[in-house]
Every structure is written in C-alpha cells, then in structure tokens.
Structure 1
Amino acid sequence: MAAQLTVEEIEALEPTFLGPTWLKNPDDSWKLPKHTLGWQIAGWCAEYLEAEHGGPWRFTSEQLRFVLWWYAIDDNGRFVYRKGVLQRLKGWGKDPLLAVISLVEFVGPSRFSHWGPDGQPVGAPHPQAWVQIAAVSRDQTRNTMTLMPSLMSDKLIETYGIKAGAELIRANGGRQRLEAVTSSFRALEGGRVTFTVLNETHHWVTGNNGDRMYETIDGNATKKDSRYLAITNAYLPGEDSVAERMREAFEKILDGRAADVGFMYDSIEAHPATPLTPEAIRIVLPKIRGDAVWLRVETILQSILDTTIAPSRSRRMWLNQIVASEDALYGPAEWDVLRDDSKMLQPGDEIVMGFDGGLKDDATALVALRVSDMYACVLGLWEKPDGPRGDDWAVPRAQVDSAVHDALRTFEVRGFYADVALWESYISEWSDTYGEGLAVKAPGKDAIGWDMRSSLKASTMAHERLMRSVFDRKLVHDGDRKLRRHALNARRRTNNYGISFGKEGRESPRKVDAYAALMLAHEALVDLRAHGKKVRKRTGRGYFL
C-alpha cells in the first residue's frame, strides 16, 4: 500500500525530530539555549582544530545547534544535560563530531568557570580531564581515535603539550588524558573519568558485557559529576542493547513515567509509512540526513534497492528507523503496549506455568500466567553466557529443579505444561509429585509433559492462540527484559497448519525459550478455562486448588 503513495503524499510524510536541536521559535527560527558554553567552544575549535581538507574546523548548522544544547548551562552554572544520545543514519558523521567533542573535553573550555560581563558563561579546561572513548571492541574505538591526529593542529599540540599515542593521548605533562577503552566493566569501576563517549551502543549487549559497561560508566559519572554521550545507529529491537535501553528510558521521560534526569536524546527518523521506492527515497532522504550533504542519495538508493540486503536493515541504516526484522512475530509496538507496572505476582496467586528446557546451548525458562488476568511473569531463566564465560557451561539443573518446586509451593498452580525434550526424568518426577493436584493435565503420558515435537499441528494451533491473546491485548506482562528479548527474537515460521515460531537460525545465539515457555503456560490456561476441573486443596510439598 505504501508503494502506491503519490508524490504529494510522500512529501507530507514528515520525519520524527527528537531533541532540543530541532526546537523552533514562533517565527520559525531555531530555538537556542539561554546560556551555553557552545559559542566559546565553537570559537576554540576554529582556533585549535583542523578540518579534514585543511583550514579551521567549522561545525555545520545542525552540529552547532547540537553542541550549543549539549553545553547548555542553567542559572547556577550547572549543565542542563547529564547524559545524551546522538542517533543518526549511517555515514552522517557521528564519529568525527564526537572526536571533536572529546578534544574539547580533553583540553578545551568544557567546564563552567564564571559569568562574563555579558551575562554569558565562560568556560575553562578541566584541570584533570580524563576522557574515555568506550566501546565493546577495539575496532569501534579505532573509528574515533584514528580521527584525532588529523583534527589536532600544530597550535593545539604546542599550546597544550600534546603527546599522542594510538590509544592514549596526554596533555600538560600528563595531567590530562584521552584514551580508548574496551576493557571489562570491572576494570572501569571507580575511574575518575570526566567525560565518556559510548561508541555504537547498538552493539552493546549482554553477551559482550555492554550492559555492565554502561552501568559502570553511569556509576562513575554519578560519583564524579561527569557526563557521557552515546552515539548509535537505529538499533534492532529485541537485542536488549544499551541503545535500546537508553531509548526506552527516554520514552518513559516523554510519557511522564520517569523523572527527567537531564537526558538529551537527538535523532531524525523517517516517517514509518515511508516506502522503499526510488521516488520516496529521493524525497525523504534529504530530509533526514540533515546537514550531511556528503551522503549521496543515489549511492544510498543503490544499497536500498539491492535485494541481498533485508529491507528492515536498510530502514535502520539509511532511514534511521527502529524496526524489527521482516519475519519477526512482534515489534516493540505490539509487545510493549502489554506492559502493566501496577501488577505483581503474589504468593498464593492462582497461576498456570510453562517450562521449556535446554542443556547447554539453549536457555531454560519457567514462566507463569496468572489465571485471573493473564498476567505473565518469568519465574526463572537460565542462559548460556557469551564468550569465554560460556565455555563448558551447562544449565544448572539442580537450581532449575529447586525453582520449580519453590513455585509449586508458593503459588496455587492449576496447570503446568513442560516441554519434555531433554528433561523427561525431571518432568516425570514433577508429575508424580504434583500431578494429582493439577486442575488440567497435559496431553501426554503424564500430567505435565507436553511434547512440542510430537505434533506440529498442536504446537502451531497453540501458538496461534497465544498470538491472538497478544494482538488482542488480553495478555499483560511486567516489562521483564528477558521475556521481552525472547519474544522479540521469535521469528515467524509458516507451515500447513498456520504460523509457528522459531529462532532466526539453528545456530543463532538469540534465544526464544522464554517465549516458548509462555506459549505452554498460555495453552495450559486455555485448557483450564475450557475444561479444567476443581481440585481439593491439599497440604505438603504440593499445594493446590
């Protein structure tokens, strides 16, 4: 349908503009901060930094507005923004801009000194500046660090006594330092860093400890009253990357669900209805590239029209749109709307449970659904860590078994469906111990075992029932990030009976086991409502209604 839009309709598809950079006054002029160090910084950059082809550094209008707002000062001389995100399409120039800002933080007038006679703030260098370019791989830090030599003029080097290395630059006898860091989050703990660049946070995920690096950087910034700025492309929903977490935090502020902690988020994103046609791209791309006129529309168009590149990837790279893969069952819009922070699972609640188990590579999950309101909650999730920590890792079966018993003692469990693969002996034991107390029995040889491998038709129909509950917004959840990640990882698999699900590939590290456990819990609830029986309450290890 989008491909049939007229030129006039495409012209009317205005991008989404986020951040103060895009605010305007009633007369259509750009709104600028009342007090900022940005003007002084722009002059300092022109004096001490060099542009790519020689001559003094000059910000584009868009870059300058960003810098003016990032260095905005309140009436008490404190920065308005404590942390920030710069999200732009690929090739916009995020690395060069952040390299410039890093040099400003290194030896430039980056800190409030006093008020000038004109009532504007005057900046001064931080006397013990410690600037870090942080990333989860050395290649990412190299993108920024390799720009430093070309930016530093002879005047800068001589004035500030610069001693430059590949990964560490010192100034003024070593009192100020700028460095690239990719070490573990533990090595970053406690650093007296004054400014940090978080490079390509769409790659910062749990598997590479990106989430812990972010938490450490935020903690260091809080202790030292410093700041940090992240740069990112549009992230892939469901990966639970730091970029995704920061966007969600920003949207909570916009929605009034969280306090504004001085968070500056700057992005231009193409309208969701933008079709990937040559006519549309030629109209829309100039709007969202901003001042990055070096991005050639026709070259980008060739990439977008390349059928070997998934359209969703083209949208993330070139339209700066946050979109899921084409075969994803759900996007953030479908899943996040089900969140209800007012609900909480309580001991004694009447629930059903679903279980999907693995041994080494796959995750193991135990998920509950409350009978009264279809409220989903993760009771346990065990996943193989990425990297060296995952070597020789195996699911801690004793912990899983204990969690199942704890759940059956804590809640009034009316039904419990567990995929039998790899866990037959445990499931048989659970069935022997608790099966009589369940109001609904699995369609297998015992009360709990539900073999997802035995009937493609049964599994597919169970999945379609879950999908209807999701799309009809009958199911709600607590926003658990692990369940969200697994649900958004699930990919559509069509067969003769309808729509099933699976991982994006057999060897994919993006797990879906918690979603599978949710499906089994949901199916237990469907059966309970259809033909569940009343069960006498009993005491002991198994306690049911």
Structure 2
Amino acid sequence: MRTPGPRRSLGYALADWIEYYLPHGPGDVQGQEIELDSEMLTFLACVYAIDGQGRRRFDEAMLSRAKGRAKSEVAGMIVVAESLAPVRFDHWAEAGEVSDWGYVYEVGEPVGRPVTYPFIRCLATEESQAGNTYANVTYMLSHSERLAEDYPGVDIGNDWQSSTRVFLPDGGEIRPSTASSASKDGGKESFSVADETHLYVLPELRDMYETVERNTMKRKAAEPWFLQTSTMYAIGEDSIAERTHRNFKAKKAPRLYFDHKAAPSTLLEDAPYEDPAELKRGLMAAYGPFAAHMDLDRMVTLAHKPTQDRAKFRRYFLNLPVSLSETWLSKAAWERCELPQDVEPGERITVGFDGSDHDDCTAITACRVSDGYVFTPRFPDGRPMIWTKWDDGDPDSWRVPRAEVKAGMSHVFATYSVARAYADPPDWRDECDAWAAEFGEETFLIFETRVATRMCPALDRLKTSVMGGELTHDGNASMAEHVGNAKPVRRPSGIAIAKPSQDRKIDSAVTAALAVEARADVLKLDAAQTSNSFSAYG
C-alpha cells in the first residue's frame, strides 16, 4: 500500500503489518479487521520516514485530531507495532522481496527489523486508570489469532482489562505509568506515548512528560521516539500540547512531526458557528475520512444547545485552540459529572475547609479516597455543611454560625475515617489550631489558598479531573453555582480563581479543590509506604 508521503519510509510496510495482524480495540467495532484510512496511512508514512542512512527523521510526533477520532486506538496500534513489528531499518529491498506476512516490497524500499529489547511506556494522568492507549494495546494483543501464532509468548497477565504490564517474548515490556511511577524506572524507553496532552497542565504531569522525554535520548541504537495524541488545548493553560504547538510554530523543534487537522478558524466567530450548514462543513473538515463514522447532525444540535460551552465544543469537536473564557470551569461541565452516591460511615475521606466571618460562604467539602467522589457532608438531620448569608434576614448583620461549623467538623471526623484535611485559615486560625490539636497535626493541616504556588496546582488538578471525566460529585447546587462563578486569574505559577463580583461566591469550589488535592497527597503517601514495605521485605 502506498500513500502520498516520503519515499523512504518504513511506514508503508508497517501499515500493512497492522492491517494483517491487529483487530480494532474496545468499542463499536472491537475485534473487527482494521482498514486504515488515507490520513492515518499518511501519518504512519511520515512518522516512520528515514534518511539515506536508514535513521529515523523524527524523534517526536504529535497527532492532533478532534474528539472521537480514535487517536488512542491509533496510538495503541503503534505501541503493539513497536513491541513486535519490523519498525527500525535493516536493509534496502531487492527485487522480489516479500515480508513474512506477505507484503511485497518495491526495489530499494526500506525493510525493517524489530527493536531489540523494546521498553514501551504508556503515560496516564491518574493513579487509578491505565489510560485509553494501554487498553487498546492489551485488547489487540489478546484478540489476534495471527499474533498468537506468529509471536507466541506475549504475556499480558490474567486479563486484558486488568493488565498492569506486558512482558514480550524476547525480552522487553510495555508498561502503563503515572506521574508517581514514571520517574522511578531508570529510563530504558525505546518508545513512549502520551494520550490527551491538552490535559497535562499539572506540574507533576509536565514533569512526568519531560522525564520520559529525556529518557528517549539514552538508547541511541534503539532510536527511541515519543508520540503525543491530543485534541486542541485551552490557550494559556500551558499544557504539554500547547507547549509542543508553540515550539512547532516557532520552528524550535526540527525533529518534531506535527500532524494537525482542524475545522476552518472562521468557526471561532459566532456567525458561521450559528449556521448549521457551515458548522457541519467544519466538522467534516476536522474529522476528514473519519467523518463518515460520526453523527454530525447530532453534533450540530449539541453545539447549538443553550447550555453548551462553545469554547469547549470548538476545542473538542472542531479541534481549534481557544482562549481561556471568563469562566474558569463552566457550570454545565461540572454538572455533567453529577453522580450521587452513598458514602458509608467509616469510609476513608479527605476534607477541604474554607471559612469566613460574614462576607463569604463557609463550607466543608469531602472527597472519598477510594475513587475521588466529591460530596458535601450533611448533619444527621440532612442539612448540608455549607453556610451563606440568609436570604430572609439582614445580610449586613449576618455572621457565620461558628458553633454549628465546629459541630459539623466534629461530626465529619466522628463519622468518617479522615485521612487528611486542608483548611484555609483566615478568620478561623484559632479553630484550625484547635482542630489540629484534636485530630492530629499530621491529619489536619493549614493550606493557605492565597499562596498561588500551592493553590494553582490544586485548582489545575480539580479542573483536569472534571475535563477528563474522572471526577464525580453529589450534585450540590451551591457548589455548582460556585464553580460556575469562578473567574480565572493568571498568576506566575498558573491559573488561580477569583469572584467576578462580591455577591457571586466561589468558596465551595475552593474547598472542592482542597479536598481533591488532599486526596492526591494521601495517595502519594500510600504509594510511598507500600513501596517502602516491599523494599523492607525484599
């Protein structure tokens, strides 16, 4: 098979290898034979282009496509190929040369060989998930009879859905990694993939990416390279996707292959966006050959709903970079994560507290450690632990009912197993000191939200969890309002939030961020203790 692309490339034969050996990954067409469209054929031809000496032309690639374009599946195909297929140059084809699986080479076409001891890393954003790419990898490896016959000995563990590593028959492995693990493994990568790098806005995620990126320079003979897949980013969040695009536009990355497909930029304007025909044409341009598999009419209807965040629609479905909006995180995006659940007494939680005297709301928010579920604790009579000015009284004389707040905090600690609590102390320093003494100074900690170097990463974590569909919450109406009120404010260390006006509160958005940040820190401590325990027992 041939596509418009570089003449010297291992990608043509590799595309044929993928179509011969691999089935589609999880989804509507799982298990069916793969037939790569023209865009993906061209992409493979370009990322596997070589020079006259047979060396790779690109050390890094970014595949930028609209949401739903099966980017993770394409990345999974490449991971499997990098682990088993002939992906590095061996020699130039002679007349009549045919591959083991039946690909007929043209004279002088490059012929590949497998990587010796491939070590492949699939980066993930959260401790609790292995990443979409890795799920495609394990499915493809375990559901191909041809692979099982020609490449015996691949070990994915007990089951493709629960797999935590893949051992390869002639040595090497495929491993999903998170921010806490990627920096600990010594840097043997021959290939790495990072999915949805527009979400890589937290400092630890950027550090993870940069650590693995540095590791790709350690094995010259293996010619390591790094693949990103992503939709477009929010301008100003300084995500890895934004940094990569910025370097490409500035011509600071000569060995980067940047493959971006988007709708016309005119759809950033409201008039063409409002026109259903124009919008549908834009969607067709963004999805290319894959548009035939998308319900474009339904997407147009979604785009014009009053509750739809247009900036996010332009990013996700038109693949256009957009500026940060006046809203830090839309109320609609937050409400889509609503999934009320029961939290049983004794369950392990973390707590966020933001107190005021009379001007602002005071709130206690909790986050379940096991899955990150965010909820507002309630008194036994059902009242939520969130306090704001009375609607039927004199707001100028209203004060936060301190005794009630203190009773609420005591009830939370008595009802649940609180692993950690973060509290913003202004107006409540005496109470915070008393709580630390009562509940333990290693459990109840001060978190100064005015310190941007601490608060910005916490807000990034909360927003990333919502954007990535990884967070669920109880649907507290006040919290939804506060999240929707929050206005982004740029700081040197990231994006902070502020009230757009005095009467539009944001306090429970702050406490949600504190509770989620506390959970992340607890998970890090748990992981460190587990690691130390294993080390102690050798």
Class of the TM-score when normalised by the shorter of the 2 chains: 0.5 to 0.7
Q: Select which of 136, 150, 153 maps to 2:125.
A: 136
Letter of the aligned partner of 1:132 in structure 2?
A: R
Q: Please state whether the residue corresponding to 1:269 is helix, strand or coil.
A: coil
Unaligned residue ranges in structure 2 (runs of 5+)? 95-106, 158-162, 329-425, 427-445, 462-488, 515-538
Letter of the aligned partner of 1:232 in structure 2?
A: S
- Structure 2 equivalent of residue 119 of structure 1: 108
Letter of the aligned partner of 1:195 in structure 2?
A: F
For 1:169 and 1:322, the matched residues in 2 are separated by 36
Shift of 1:124: 0.8
Q: Deviations over 1:379-418 (max 9, x none)?
A: xx7434757xx9xxxxxxxxxxxxxxxxxxxxxxxxxxxx
Q: Deviations over 1:63-104 (max 9, x none)?
A: 100000010001111111100111111101101111101100
For 2:128 and 2:43, the matched residues in 1 are separated by 26
For 1:56 and 1:382, the matched residues in 2 are separated by 49
Q: Please state whether the residue corresponding to 1:85 is helix, strand or coil.
A: strand
- CA pair 312-505 structure 1, distance change in 2 beyond 3 A: farther
Q: Please state whether the residue corresponding to 2:215 is helix, strand or coil.
A: helix
Q: Say if 2:248 and 2:258, in contact at 8 Å, map to a contact too.
A: yes
Q: Please state whether the residue corresponding to 1:229 is helix, strand or coil.
A: strand
Q: Is the aligned partner of 1:323 residue 2:329?
A: no
- Structure 1 equivalent of residue 167 of structure 2: 170
Shift of 1:177: 1.5
Alignment of 1:172-211 (within 5 A): 172-173=169-170, 175-184=171-180, 187-188=183-184, 190-207=186-203, 209-211=204-206
Q: Is the aligned partner of 1:97 residue 2:168?
A: no
- Structure 2 equivalent of residue 245 of structure 1: 243
Letter of the aligned partner of 1:116 in structure 2?
A: A
Q: Say if 1:160 and 1:171, in contact at 8 Å, map to a contact too.
A: no
Shift of 1:60: 0.8
- Structure 2 equivalent of residue 483 of structure 1: 492
- CA pair 169-215 structure 1, distance change in 2 beyond 3 A: same
For 1:504 and 1:284, the matched residues in 2 are separated by 38
- CA pair 170-158 structure 1, distance change in 2 beyond 3 A: farther
- CA pair 140-289 structure 1, distance change in 2 beyond 3 A: farther
Q: Select which of 40, 45, 48 maps to 2:21.
A: 48
- Structure 1 equivalent of residue 147 of structure 2: 156
Alignment of 1:386-425 (within 5 A): 386=457
- CA pair 123-186 structure 1, distance change in 2 beyond 3 A: closer
- Structure 2 equivalent of residue 362 of structure 1: 449
Q: Please state whether the residue corresponding to 1:289 is helix, strand or coil.
A: helix
For 1:156 and 1:69, the matched residues in 2 are separated by 25
Alignment of 1:276-315 (within 5 A): 276-277=273-274, 278-292=276-290, 293-315=292-314
Q: Please state whether the residue corresponding to 1:133 is helix, strand or coil.
A: strand
Shift of 1:54: 4.9
Q: Say if 2:262 and 2:285, in contact at 8 Å, map to a contact too.
A: no
Q: Deviations over 1:126-184 (max 9, x none)?
A: 120111111122566342222235434112123222222312122215x0311211252
Q: Please state whether the residue corresponding to 1:212 is helix, strand or coil.
A: helix
For 1:54 and 1:211, the matched residues in 2 are separated by 34
Q: Say if 2:9 and 2:49, in contact at 8 Å, map to a contact too.
A: yes
Q: Say if 1:238 and 1:484, in contact at 8 Å, map to a contact too.
A: no
Q: Say if 2:3 and 2:38, in contact at 8 Å, map to a contact too.
A: no
For 1:109 and 1:198, the matched residues in 2 are separated by 22
Shift of 1:215: 1.1
For 2:182 and 2:140, the matched residues in 1 are separated by 32
Shift of 1:31: 4.1
For 1:68 and 1:109, the matched residues in 2 are separated by 14
For 2:85 and 2:139, the matched residues in 1 are separated by 17
- CA pair 328-505 structure 1, distance change in 2 beyond 3 A: same
For 1:303 and 1:233, the matched residues in 2 are separated by 18
Letter of the aligned partner of 2:42 in structure 1?
A: R
Shift of 1:239: 2.1
Q: Deviations over 1:233-276 (max 9, x none)?
A: 111222222112212111211xxxx3x43001111122232132
Shift of 1:202: 1.5
For 1:138 and 1:360, the matched residues in 2 are separated by 23
Q: Say if 1:491 and 1:504, in contact at 8 Å, map to a contact too.
A: no
- Structure 2 equivalent of residue 39 of structure 1: 12
Q: Say if 1:185 and 1:212, in contact at 8 Å, map to a contact too.
A: no
For 1:88 and 1:148, the matched residues in 2 are separated by 20
- CA pair 154-176 structure 1, distance change in 2 beyond 3 A: farther
Q: Select which of 49, 55, 61 maps to 1:72.
A: 49
For 1:105 and 1:139, the matched residues in 2 are separated by 25
For 1:30 and 1:266, the matched residues in 2 are separated by 15
Q: Please state whether the residue corresponding to 1:47 is helix, strand or coil.
A: helix
TM-score (norm 2): 0.56
Q: Please state whether the residue corresponding to 2:183 is helix, strand or coil.
A: helix
For 1:73 and 1:384, the matched residues in 2 are separated by 46
For 1:186 and 1:59, the matched residues in 2 are separated by 31
For 1:120 and 1:35, the matched residues in 2 are separated by 7
Q: Say if 1:131 and 1:193, in contact at 8 Å, map to a contact too.
A: yes
Q: Please state whether the residue corresponding to 2:288 is helix, strand or coil.
A: coil
- CA pair 32-190 structure 1, distance change in 2 beyond 3 A: same
- Structure 1 equivalent of residue 263 of structure 2: 270
Unaligned residue ranges in structure 1 (runs of 5+)? 1-28, 330-357, 365-380, 391-466, 468-480, 511-545
- Structure 2 equivalent of residue 383 of structure 1: 454
Shift of 1:120: 1.8
For 2:182 and 2:120, the matched residues in 1 are separated by 18
- CA pair 494-273 structure 1, distance change in 2 beyond 3 A: farther
For 2:512 and 2:235, the matched residues in 1 are separated by 16
- Structure 1 equivalent of residue 134 of structure 2: 145
Letter of the aligned partner of 1:170 in structure 2?
A: F
For 1:50 and 1:287, the matched residues in 2 are separated by 27
For 1:382 and 1:164, the matched residues in 2 are separated by 41
- Structure 1 equivalent of residue 62 of structure 2: 85
Count how many residue pairs are aligned between Structure 1 and Structure 2: 336
For 1:54 and 1:172, the matched residues in 2 are separated by 23
- CA pair 151-386 structure 1, distance change in 2 beyond 3 A: same
Deviation larger for 102-111 or 267-276: 267-276
Q: Say if 2:82 and 2:114, in contact at 8 Å, map to a contact too.
A: yes
- CA pair 30-170 structure 1, distance change in 2 beyond 3 A: closer
For 1:185 and 1:245, the matched residues in 2 are separated by 23
Shift of 1:231: 0.9
What's the % identity of the aligned pairs? 25
Q: Say if 1:232 and 1:243, in contact at 8 Å, map to a contact too.
A: yes
Q: Please state whether the residue corresponding to 1:180 is helix, strand or coil.
A: strand
Alignment of 1:387-536 (within 5 A): 483=492, 485-486=494-495, 493=500
